Structure formats: C-alpha cells, structure tokens
Structure 1
Amino acid sequence: MIGKGHSIASTGASIDYGWNQEKDAEVVLKEYLAGETPKEITEEFKIIQSQNERCTQNTLSFILSPTVKDGQEMGKAQLKEITSRFLKEMELKNRQAIAFVHRDKAHTHVHVYVNRIGFDGKAYNDSFIGKRSQIAADNVAKELGLTRVREVQQEKLQELKWQRLAIRHINNKVIETRPKSLDEYIGKMKDSNVKVIPSINKSNQLQGFRFEYKGASLKGSEVHRSMSGSKLIGEITQNAKFTRMKEVPNSLKLMDKTVQLSSNMAAKIAKDLLKQVIKRGLETGMGMGF
C-alpha cells in the first residue's frame, strides 16, 4: 500500500472532488462531522479552522492506495480499518476527518481529508508529511498483511532485470571514458540509446537521475547503488580534477543552466571523495596527514 500526503488550502474543492459520484465515491470514514454534503462538511471544518487564522493551508489531504489485487478484495469495513489505522499512525485521531473510496478505476484508492486545526486551535505539524505518509501506510500494510511498497518495488525490479543490467553495462562503459561534465555524460549515454533525465526540485536542486531504456524508466539507485545521483556526480567531479573535499562544488552546469546540489548530496560526494583519497594514499604507501 502506498500513502501520499500534503497540506492544502482548497478544502471545499477537495472534499467536493472526494465526494464525486462519477467516481463511484462512497464514504468509508467520518469523524466528528454531522454534515451530509461537501458544503456542510466544509463549513464544519471552517468553524474549527477559524480558531487559527495564521494557518492558511489548514486541511490535510491523503491518498491511500492498496495494490490492485488487495484493493479489489477490500470491502467498506476493511477500507475504514486501514484509514483509521493510518490516522492513528499519523497521530491524527480525535480530529475532524472524512474519507472516500474511489472505485472508478481498477486501482481502488481512498481520499482522506483531515482538519489540520485541532479542537484546541493548534495546527498539526506538517513537516515531511509526504515521507511520513509513506512510512505510516507501510506500517499499516505490515500490520494487516497487505502487500507493501518494497515488495511491489522488488517485483518491478525483477521484471526489469535485463534492462537494469544493460543500463548499468552502458553506464560503466561511459564512465570508463572519464566524462568531465554532466552534459558529456548524458550525451554519451544518449549515443548508446539510454536517455538520462535529471530530477530537479522546485528549489533548483539536483536530486538524481532517471534512466529510460527499452521501455523501462528507473531511478539510478534502482539500476544499481553505484548509479545514485551522488555516486555519479562524484565520479564526474573527480574526472574534472576535484581532489579535495573543499573543492566539492555546490552547483554544476547542466544543459546550459546552473543547478544546485543539496547539502545532503554534497556531503555524500565529499564522503566518497575522502574514501578515494584514503584508498589512493594506501595504495601508494603515502601517509595521511590530518
């Protein structure tokens, strides 16, 4: 089961979407609410939200997606159970909440809306809510014996085993040519029919890469751990003659643009670079001075 979550400001429109009868919507959970229409539910949310006018994104929106097979076998009672357990995992019990199941597609999923403002007027801390939603959904799946995300991912990786091996082989051949820039690396991979797609977030930070080959689309770490963003960038920066940790760049040129490296990625590159420096020192019998 997969869980996704974020804070929203459009409470009414979101609840209206959840209640959409064209998607065979059905209420599977309702907490501390009396209303029978999206408008009535929204008004009840607003009464509590009026206690905290500083918080504008005052509703929490979640999507819980069991696997296709698990979802097809679930009735209303089971969907209520996974939603209730999920809210408990997220420490969101004793709040206004409503959840709808959508069965308009093969993939059954539940839309959950929770008032971010508690009855005490305090706003729920939504830091890292996306990641926390994933973990909570995985915990619920484990408790109830449902298929977990990592199991689905492992099945996917096994199905794409030959593509992964081919991409890694091509990557190794390209790395052996010692490309000195990301553009050079991406160009050489393209020449071997592998499309490399940089993953750049809204803060213009490079997160890693996706690789497309023969119908497969995989993150670098899914191909092999040596192809994570930090590993690849570390290889290329060393080719560009960066030999000391203080030389690890905070930004790189990519397709005529400058992209930033997150502090986490820069730290990983520095760590790998330090390992290489130590290894070279040991191989040449040089002492390491600190």
Structure 2
Amino acid sequence: MIGLGKSISHTGASMGYGWNDEKDAEVVYRQHLSGGDPKEITQEFKVIQSQNHKCKKNTLSFVLSPTIEDGRELKTRELREITERFVKEMKLQERQAIAFVHRNMSHIHIHLYVNRINFEGKAYKDNFIGKRSQLAAEKVARQLGMTTVREVQQQKLDKVKDIRAEIKQIHEKVMTEMRPKDFDQYIKYMKQRHVEIVPSINKQNQLQGFRFEYKGESLKGSHVHRSMSMGRIAERIGLDRTVAQKNAKENTMNLLEKTAGVSSNLATTQANKAIKMAVKKSIGLGMEI
C-alpha cells in the first residue's frame, strides 16, 4: 500500500472530487461531522478553521492506495479499518475527518480529508508530511498483512534483474574504457550503447538525478545499482578542474546545452575530485604544485 499526503487550501474542490458519485464514491470513514454532501462538510471544516487565520493550507489531503491484488479483496469494513489505523498512526484522531473510497477503476483507493485545525484552533505540523504518510501507510499495511510499497518496489526490481545487470555492465565499460570527463560525455557514450539517460530536473531547474531507459524499462540510477546514483557517478567522472570549481562556486552546471542547478554537495564533490585528479597527475609528472 502507498500513502500520499499534503496540505491544501482548496478544501471544497478537493472534497467535491473525493465525494463524486460518478466515481462510485462511498463514504468509509467520518468523525466529528454531520454534513450530507461536500458543500456541507466544507462549511463544517471552515467553522473550525476560522479560529486560525494564519494557516492558509488548512486541510490535510491523503490518498491510500492498496495494490491491485490487495484491493480486490477489501470490503467496506476493511477499508474503514485501514483508514482508522492510518489516522491513528498520523495522530489525527481528534479532528474532523472524512474518507471516501473510489471503486470506479481496477485500482481501488481511499481519499481522506482531515481538518488541519483542531478544536483549539491549533494547526497540525505538516513538515515532511509526504514521507510521514508513506511510513504510516507501510506500517498499517504490515499490521494488516498487506503488501507494502517497499515490497512492490522490490518485486519490480526483481522482475527487471537481468536488465539492471546489463545496464550496470554497460555503465562500467563506459567508465573504464571511455573515461567520460563530464555528464554530457557520459550520457553520449551510454546512448551509443542504446541506454538513454533522462535527467530528472525539478521545478527549480535543479538536477535531481538520472533515469536509465533500456529495452522498454525506465529505472532510477540507484535502482539499477547503488553505485549508479548521480552522486556516485559524479565521483567517478574526472571533470576539468576549472569547470568543476566554477560549478561549485555557482551551484550550476551545463548539461545537454542547458544550465541546470545542482546541490552544493554534488558541486563540491566534483570540485574535490577534479583537484585530486590534478594533484595525482602533477605528482606523476614530477611537477610541483
């Protein structure tokens, strides 16, 4: 089971989506509420939320998604238990909340909405709520003998075990035989061997990592092998010293003819690697630094 969570401000619209008759929505859980439709529930939320004007994203929205196989066996009573246990794990028992299950697709999932503001007007702390939601859902899944997200990921990795091994082998040949000097060269050499590398760049235009596409599969570098995360690849690439130091100073790099931001840790790693390479080369030539 996968758990997703975030704070939202558009309570009414989200509630309307969750409680949608066209999606065969069914209420499986509610607490401290009496309304009979999305509009009434939203108004009840707002009465409590009016005690705290500072909190703008004042509703918590969660999606709990059992695997397709687990979902086929779940009845209303069991879906209610999943929700109750999740609410308890997140320590949200004493707040207004309502949950709906959508059965319109083969993949059954639960939409849970909780008032972030409690009856004393205090806002629930939502730092790392996405990660906390994931961990809570995994704990509930284990309690109920359901498949966890980690098990799903492992099943997928086992399925593509041979593909992962092939990508790793190609990666090692590129590193040892071609000795790329930057990410652009690495991407070029891997493509020549039929491995497409897709940079993952977030909304802040910062490079987050790489995905490796090969024989119809798309995998994160760390899922191919732990040595193939972006940071580990950077450690093995011998960047030009001047370029690496520039990257470290500006926290940017040129990638595929575009400028992308990088974390300070990655930029510093590259700069230190380039300096070490320069020192080794100079010592080998008998030069003084």
TM class, shorter-length: 0.7 to 0.9
Opposite residue 210 of structure 1, the aligned amino acid is: R
Opposite residue 39 of structure 1, the aligned amino acid is: K
Q: Mapping of 1:149-228 within 5 angstroms?
A: 149-176=149-176, 177-228=178-229
Measured in 2, the distance between the counterparts of 1:265 and 1:90 equals 34
Over 3 Å counting, the alpha-carbon distance change for 1:6 and 1:266 in structure 2 is farther
C-alpha deviations, 1:238-274, integer Å up to 9, x for none?
A: 34348x999856322112222222245557x47x959
Opposite residue 114 of structure 2, the aligned amino acid is: V
Opposite residue 212 of structure 2, the aligned amino acid is: F
Measured in 1, the distance between the counterparts of 2:256 and 2:170 equals 21
**Secondary structure class of the residue paired with 1:190:** helix
Measured in 1, the distance between the counterparts of 2:264 and 2:31 equals 41
Q: How far does residue 100 in structure 1 lie from its aligned partner after superposition? A: 0.5
Contact in 1 for aligned 2:247/2:267 (Cα 8 Å)? no
Contact in 1 for aligned 2:49/2:58 (Cα 8 Å)? yes
**Secondary structure class of the residue paired with 2:106:** coil
Q: How far does residue 75 in structure 1 lie from its aligned partner after superposition? A: 0.7
**Secondary structure class of the residue paired with 1:199:** strand
Measured in 2, the distance between the counterparts of 1:20 and 1:266 equals 48
- Cα RMSD for the two superposed structures: 2.5
Residue 235 (structure 1) aligned with residue 236 (structure 2): yes
Over 3 Å counting, the alpha-carbon distance change for 1:159 and 1:102 in structure 2 is same
Q: Mapping of 1:1-290 within 5 angstroms?
A: 1-176=1-176, 177-236=178-237, 238-241=238-241, 250-263=251-264, 265=266, 269=269
Contact in 2 for aligned 1:245/1:273 (Cα 8 Å)? no
Identity of aligned residues (%): 57
Q: TM-score, normalised by structure 1?
A: 0.88
Opposite residue 127 of structure 1, the aligned amino acid is: N
Give ranges in structure 2 of 5+ residues lacking alignment.
285-289
Q: Which stretches of structure 1, 4 residues or more, deviate above 6 A after TM superposition? A: 244-247
**Secondary structure class of the residue paired with 1:64:** strand
**Secondary structure class of the residue paired with 1:230:** helix
**Secondary structure class of the residue paired with 1:69:** helix
Opposite residue 74 of structure 2, the aligned amino acid is: M
Contact in 1 for aligned 2:248/2:264 (Cα 8 Å)? no
Q: TM-score, normalised by structure 2?
A: 0.88
Contact in 2 for aligned 1:230/1:266 (Cα 8 Å)? no
Measured in 1, the distance between the counterparts of 2:106 and 2:94 equals 32
**Secondary structure class of the residue paired with 2:12:** helix
C-alpha deviations, 1:32-56, integer Å up to 9, x for none?
A: 1100000000100111111111211
Over 3 Å counting, the alpha-carbon distance change for 1:197 and 1:10 in structure 2 is same
Contact in 2 for aligned 1:58/1:115 (Cα 8 Å)? yes
Over 3 Å counting, the alpha-carbon distance change for 1:273 and 1:141 in structure 2 is farther
Measured in 2, the distance between the counterparts of 1:264 and 1:43 equals 47
- Structure 1, 40-49 or 162-171: larger mean CA deviation: 162-171
Measured in 2, the distance between the counterparts of 1:171 and 1:158 equals 20
